[in-house]
Amino acid sequence: MVIKICGLSTPATLDAAIAAGADMVGFVRFPRSPRHLGLERGRELSEFARGRVSRVLLVVDPTDAELDEAIEALAPEILQLHGRETPERVAEIRARTGRPVMKALGIAEAADLARAADYAGVVDRLILDAKPPRGAVLPGGNGLSFDWSLLDGLDPRLDVMLSGGLDPANVAEAIGQTRVRAVDVSSGVEARPGEKDPDKIRAFIEAARAAFAQQDRTAS
């Protein structure tokens, strides 16, 4: 059971996520995002989290040079690809960096979910996010959810993380309906775009942990 808080940008909110029991924290390298971190800021925050939690570097269609630069600065344990990376490009990045890779897929209908099979055996985990609306400048972090019932037919062998529109109020429902074992949140724990709220972070983690525990009780 994994809880990821993505788009952290200050020591205080990063500390709040770690103290509340987050399993992963995400650092965004995408200039168009309000959660984007410069290399030096990213280096400082990543060092602050070192040894306390798994650090995830989120990038969008990076070149090899951009990826090398970001990895050198942030030294993440895990990479998250949130662009249009093909299975071939994902496999190349995974082999080149020697790091586990999570790949985000935008979901709006069953046909989108069918693409998950293309990444089976290539990625370490798939992040199922809401497909951004036409004309959106961000591939994720838009605060939108998708129809969770689409996951009813998902291959149970796939390791997935649910994202998109989650917040403290609906994460328990999402876990209960989809039976996922991992969740990811960004805008749902913000006071405003790019600014995380420590109280919302704590509330989200508490709600997710309780839902995971309920899932285990039901299974047993």
Residues 6+ apart with CB under 8 A from 102: 56, 78, 79, 80, 81, 123, 124, 125, 126, 127, 161
d(CA 33, CA 63): 18
Domains and CATH numbers, the chain: 2-219 (3.20.20.70)
pLDDT, position 131: 85
d(CA 121, CA 123): 6
Per-residue pLDDT reduced to its tens digit, 90-134: 999 999 999 999 999 999 888 888 888 899 889 999 999 988 756
End-to-end CA distance of the chain: 16
Q: What count of other Cβ atoms lies within 10 Å of the Cβ of residue 28?
A: 27
Angle at CA 195, nearest 5°, toward 192 and 198? 105
d(CA 181, CA 70): 29
Place of tokens 């985000």: 104
d(CA 20, CA 220): 26
Intervals of the chain under pLDDT 50? none
pLDDT, position 51: 96
pLDDT, position 128: 96
d(CA 84, CA 61): 6
Residues 6+ apart with CB under 8 A from 140: 82, 104, 106, 129, 132, 163, 164, 186
Residues serving a catalytic function are: 6, 129
pLDDT, position 26: 98
Q: Choose among 153, 58, 145, 152: nearest CA to 107.
A: 145
This prediction has a pTM of 0.93
Per-residue pLDDT reduced to its tens digit, 64-73: 999 999 999 9
